[in-house]
Structure 1
Amino acid sequence: MPNFSGNWKIIRSENFEDLLKVLGVNVMLRKIAVAAASKPAVEIKQEGDTFYIKTSTTVRTTEINFNIGEEFEEQTVDGRPCKSLVKWESENKMVCEQRLLKGEGPKTSWTRELTNDGELILTMTADDIVCTRVYVRDRGNYEARTAVGALQAQSLTQKSAKELRKQRQK
């Protein structure tokens, strides 16, 4: 089973503005959304077929929790409420079909796939427009947390050693 867990940073994006356009997002909001989504922070937690995905930009943060094969509610990329169902398409690729809860609009879906190179490829589709966004694991964030943890452990060890020396001196 693939491991999607981690913090991800975007390295490439194609057709995001075109996707928003076909969804009916006005030009001003598209420009804001494209700028805000140019460097999203993505956090994924996976336990088997259970997922938590948090995507944060300067404009908006979305969080979804789902189990593969179980319908759940979320929002389309333009903020419309929908029912979604995620299934495994292959060993490393999940596919999500979305159904609007109200009104009409383009048929939307998304996929997430882990490549052999360790990239995460997110595709978002609205009718015949496909937006592709490619991510890599944010090792810097992981390394920073690991370094902080090591420093905290070192500090505790030093404090314990000092306390032990004090006790011996008594």
Structure 2
Amino acid sequence: MLRKVAVAAASKPHVEIRQNGDQFYIKTSTTVRTTEIQFTVGEEFDEETVDGRKCKSFPIWEKENKIYCKQTLVDGTGPKTYWTRELVGDELILVFGADDVVCTRLYVRA
């Protein structure tokens, strides 16, 4: 599993984002896997954490161009996780958090 995560982290993923008001579709493709999520800001939805655990996610607008999403595990225990996505010019700043650990990834529009 760690090798797959390392390969994915080193790759240049392709991210497709479609927005219609508060409704979002986000598809992220890497050499390891492709993930797709659909959600409406302000409504809970089912999602998987980065490591594959099922969770309930609740996205809110943190500011005009930034979404904050809290994730709550469906079963078991684990770190408190969240993600944020913020558009700044031609850049997408994606932040994943798990308790006190934070990972930031920067995407640039092609």
Gaps of 5+ in 2: none
How many residue pairs get matched?
Answer: 109
1:122 matched to 2:94: yes
Q: 2:25·2:37 contact (CA, 8 Å) conserved in 1?
A: yes
Aligned residue type for 1:49: D
Structure 1 residue aligned with 2:45, among 72, 79, 86?
Answer: 72
Could you say which structure has the higher strand fraction?
2
- Separation in 1 of the partners of 2:90 and 2:109? 8
Cα distance in 1 between the residues matched to 2:51 and 2:16: 20
Equivalent residue for 2:67? Answer: 94
Give every structure 1 segment of 4 or more consecutive aligned residues whose post-TM-superposition deviation is greater than 6 Å: none
Distance in 1 (CA, whole Å) between partners of 2:95 and 2:2 is 18
Once the two structures are TM-superposed, the CA of residue 137 in structure 1 deviates from its matched residue by 1.0
The question of 1:85 aligning with 2:33 is answered no
Unaligned runs of 5+ in 1: 1-28, 139-170
How many angstroms apart in 1 are the aligned matches of 2:8 and 2:98?
20
- Structure 1 CA distance, aligned partners of 2:109 and 2:27? 14
Q: Secondary structure at the match of 1:31?
A: helix
Corresponding residue number in structure 1 for 2:3: 31
Give the percent of matched residue pairs that are identical in Structure 1 and Structure 2.
65
Greater helix percent: which structure?
Answer: 1
Larger Rg: 1
Superposed CA RMSD in Å reads 1.0
**Corresponding residue for 1:134?**
106
TM-score by length of 2: 0.94
Paired residue secondary structure (1:35): helix
Q: 1:61 aligns with which of 34, 49, 68?
A: 34
Structure 1 Cα separation of the partners of residues 59 and 105 of structure 2: 18
Higher relative contact order (CA 8 A, sep 6+): 1
The secondary structure found in structure 1 opposite 2:15 is strand
Give the TM-score normalised by the residue count of structure 1: 0.62
Q: Is the contact made by 2:15 and 2:29 (CA closer than 8 Å) also made in structure 1?
A: yes
The reply on whether 1:47 has 2:20 as its aligned counterpart is yes
> Residues of 2 paired with 1:120 and 1:62: CA distance?
17
Matching residue within 111, 114, 117 for 2:84: 111
